[in-house]
Structure 1
Amino acid sequence: SDTHPVPGTWYNQGRVRMLWDLPPFDISGIKGYSIMWDTSPTTVPREHINVTGNVSEFLGPRLRDGSGWYFHIRACDNSGNWNDSATTFGPVCIDTKAPSGLSLRIGDGSGYANDALVALSPDAPDPQPGSGTGWMAFSNDGTFWTDWLPYDSALSGWNLTDYRFGGEDTDGPKTVYFKARDVAGNEVTAENRTAATVFLDRRAPDGLGIAINDGSEWTNKADVTLLVRASDPEPASGLWRLGLSNDGVSWSGWTDWAGTAAWSLAEGAGGADSDGLKTVHLRVMDRAGNIAGPASATIFLDQRPPGQLGLLINDGAGFTNVSEVSLAVHVVDPEPGSAGLEMAFSNDGSEYGPWEPMAELRGNWSLVTGAGGKDSDGNKTVRMMTRDAAGNLGGPVNASIFLDRVRPERLAIAINGGARYATRPDVDLSLAAEDAEPSSGLRAMQFSRDGTVWTEWEQFSPCRTYHLDGPDGPRTLHFKVKDRAGNIGGEGTATIILDTTAPFLTGVVASGITPRSAVIMWQTDEEADGAVDYGPTGAYGMSAANGTFVTSHSILLTGLLPATTYHFRVTSKDAAGNGPARSSDITFTTTSKDDFVPPMISDVKVLGLSDRTAVIGWRTSEPADGLVEWGPTEAYGMSGRDSRLVLVHSLTLGGLSPSTAYHFRVASSDSSGNGPSFSPDFTFTTLARPDTTPPVISDVTIVAFSDRQAVISWLTDEAADTVVEYGTDQGYGKRAVDRALVLSHQLILSGLAPSTTYHFRVHATDAAGNGPVTSPDFAFTTLALPDTTPPVISGVKVLDLTGTSALVCWDTDEASTGLLELGTDASYGISVEDGAFTTRHALLLQNLTPGRTYHFRVYSTDLSGNRAGPTGDATFTAPSEPPAPGVARLGPLDLVMAAALLALAAAGAALISRSRGRAGRGRTD
């Protein structure tokens, strides 16, 4: 065959032209042929001429495609002879159809490539029966093709940018064209060619970033959320996948790209289940397979909460009286801790305050206004939560304290059960206070003697023994309590008079002696009662008493016998029960004649005035009672009485009206009932407004002193009481008091120690209660030895002699009291006394009988009890008629001078410049 010359070879023509040679040995010639096409190589055509003539070629019918066609020919000559066998040509392979259904895959078929050299996977099926695909060719632009390449299902190393085949050296979409031809030479038509596109991306992603938990520095959970970012430079294949690692060595599988990823710091690739600094690594792949990274981020993993929590309020105190407290905090963050600890507090466990940096001490936490607080007292619990930087919560831990902002009240203190006096320095205290609910309870107490200096706090007890330091005198004990919260209550006070010594007796005299009575007088250095034991012998046998507590005592003895010597002693017991103190045995002799002479009244004065009161004072020549009558006219209408038998009298008139003139007179009767003697009428006018001015103290003088006693005197510009504080230092500690309201003051200080310096100051309060005013501090030193020398009397004279009165004066060389005995003969029978200590004595005698001659003698007794006198008997005669011209008499000026001398003598007004001569004597200047 010239169309299919090689048997067994594929040809793309469907009709086969066969050529043959005529047989050379046939005689009759060839008549025709029997020709047949089939698929068997052994077929002998039947003896049937289907091709006539002597021909040598035949174009057969179109055969269908296949590889097993055989041509059989058998000749017949004109003689009708057939070849016994057929001649066969074949096999003839027919393939008239080009490959079809072409496909092409570039790389793995993903559509992306990160290298210009790619692998091609072509596919060109040849329809069967067919010769099979034998050739292939490729192009990057469909125009410029490679030569025909033997067909293979895989071609490596195709260059997407090869310019020979239409490529360009740029990234982006790349198309590869593919055509095929089968073995028979059938080539696919242009419209049946195929192509595949791939995106060439040879640049890896950039801009990689990773954040763990939004960039947090800490976490308390191993499971975290990653925020990742990257960009793929244009022309971009696009981000495709990401990979993660905890150590940069072991990586997770590639996962689809997303902006977030869930990741475990412990179980993720390369992770470890331990706390500490954790690093997460990120790799990114684009669709072309370009890999970028790693990028990394760190976070501190802390899965253990803070521990060993401790909380103390006010250093562990159980109570507080202030709502703002300090909190001491203790927290440990287990290693490796995330640090950055914070704390928050609550008063109720529900509402917490804001988180604040951890500190060992948190001041100014309010139990009331802090989170969850209530403005009430009682047990308060503070709760604390902690958290570390990773957010691990610790707690709560709590501590409690009792808030008590109400101080104790109703403090009460009683000394010796409320007694007024204490005879021992050790006293029993009864103490009480109330602590309002909710109560922290009473805890401590302290004491003070002056309200300024306090003892140390001590455990509270309702009963306690307390020692009163210092000398005798009033003691005010101040008492404070403190509850457990530290609230200090107001003060409770109690006053008691410490009096551990019996009264000191001075100036014991018998006065106002008559045939049947006598007045016994003495002073005590403190208020005390008085009693007199008396009788014809030292065994006494009779007594008289006065239970009134005073410092100046006078007791009337009655039922005596005339011209009889009596022994007596006085006793006094103070209000505290100390004593009784007893004097030595003393005697007096009653007179033989009855006393019919009433007391003489002198020196009547208005000692003090206010809008509603007046103080009236006067003196009597012998112990006598006192009476004041007063009213708006000389009819008087009102009266006041003092039944004490004294020489110096003072009565306060009350219930007066402001700016009102009043008349008054005074009267006194002696122990014999003589009297009453009345003074003339006097007047005063009350003040328009209340007296608010305190008295003025002047002329404070140390009149006399011995080894054991001292006499202090001073003046006030209005009637006031008499008080002296004294002691061995300026704390004083002892007091001497006389409540009588007078202008001229004098007090005896007793119970002193020899050769000792004493400080003193005086006080005065007027009838209106103004005061006390206080003088400056003064000092004196007692004598070393007792004074045993009596005073020396000199200059006895009678002045201002009238028919009814006389002024008897004398001097002594030391301050002493004065006594004058008077009578119409040398048996005397009348006595006139002045108990003030002075060196110049003046006694006014009144109610004399004109023309009568009087006998008198004087005595003086110093502070130590040394008595001078009596002086010799002296006489004067009261004039019966006015003196003749030229006879010396005292004129008005002389009377004024005498009155002044009397007042000075009564006041003891002298300035002691120094002590000279005998013990206890001072020269008066």
Structure 2
Amino acid sequence: MSVFTRHNVFFGIIFSLFLFIVLTADRHDSFAVSADPDPPVLSNIHVVEVGTSTALIRWTTDEGAEGMVNYGLDRKFGIERSLIPNKKNHEILVTDLDAATTYYFRTISLDEAGNQSISDDFTFKTESTVSSPALEKILSAEQRELAEKALEILGKIKDPRALEIIVARANELAGELGEHPQIIGSPTVKEIGSDFAVISWKTDREADSIVYFADERAYAPDSDDPYPESQGDPDERVIEHGVRIIGLAPATKYHFSVSSKGEIGGRGFSEDGEFQTKATLPEILGVSLQKVEADAATIAVSTNIPTSIIVEYTNTRTGEKKLKGDPTFLTTHTVRLTDLSFAAPYTAVVKVENEIGDKFTSDPLSFFTVRDDAPPVISKVTNESTLFPGEDVKIQTIVGWDTDEPALCQFFFHSGLAADERSTESTPPEGDPTQKHVQVLTSLLSSSVYKFWIECSDRTGNPSRSEDFVLITPEKEKSIIDIIIENFSGTFGWLKNIGK
């Protein structure tokens, strides 16, 4: 049998490395030694074209000779020979190759005198029938080629049961590897607001992006689940990660840990980190001029969060500036600006500040002082009665109210709900104008109902009257004798006549 007989070899493995060799012989398959003692010189050996299942190999010899190519997955070479003898330029197409596979080859040329030349070993790799950019990210060339070959073979499998077995084995191997993405360095809190935070980090390979977090009260470092909340994207696969956590509480300290998981392997976690959200910035929702008087003005301000307030007001005619404020942290403020000049132009600027010092300033508000023709507004009317027990039971009732400007007020009342001018009583008129008013009554009877109202007038005589209010005085406490008599009265009716 000729040594140049072509061999077909099946290798029962999935991932293979092929080798090939080129041989040259005369047309009689003879290696007889002729008078020509010099073998052909081989040169310019190269692979011209490579496909998924073919490779075109060319080389030249310095004399006419036959050419053959030995090739294979290893050095057990198969043979492909040229059918045209005595050529100097040789070209052999090797066929029936496997895609995405590396082959070894060498060329052999034999002249008519039987002199043989064998080249060194060379390699080429057939093209892949699959395309996956992710393959380029596999650092090991060997692992990359094996993965490429596996994809080639998987593309030929159509049996669902076979695919299930492969997937199960792949998951089993992934679990055995158990390697999770490595988080490079420490996560960075890139941006913090009053209700959000942006956290970024990097991993050594593509993975998802999750941030686990908890406020200071909910954080449980000794628990299996120290962070009760999480946000992120479990479907993305990136190396540079960024998650915007939303819905946070303002001015609050949070603990967090970033986490990433790839397609296979476990989930990686960072060490615990901390950040604190900013306080909600104050914002003025509304500024209104409630009342303008000859020498005063009342400004109402509402804010989005509790703030203190300062109003800076300026007489634009004289340039004189004054300040008036309220240090109480509230969402609504009413500030009365006093000591203004009559018939003068003013501008007012409202400045608010939250509890940690964040500030907000309104646009200027302009007004002109005029003669006051608006009556005082009566508000915040309260009453409280106290019973003082003893032989001579006494009732003390304290009534209070506010007016939006200094005013003189008088308290009116009568027993019962029906109007009766003859039974109406009143306290003496107040002596000094004020905005906070208090009256103390000691003449009211216990267990009684009274109707009352308030009448006021400001310094320019503008009158106002409040709505009607109802006041109920407390019931007189019963003595021990009264209680005993009541308990027996149901049984001994004659007890009702005692004392009559």
Fold match (TM-score > 0.5): no
Greater relative contact order (Cα 8 A, min sep 6): structure 1 or 2? 2
Quickly name the TM-score band, shorter chain normalised. under 0.3
Larger radius of gyration: 1
In the superposition, the TM-score normalised over structure 1's length comes to 0.16
In the superposition, the TM-score normalised over structure 2's length comes to 0.27
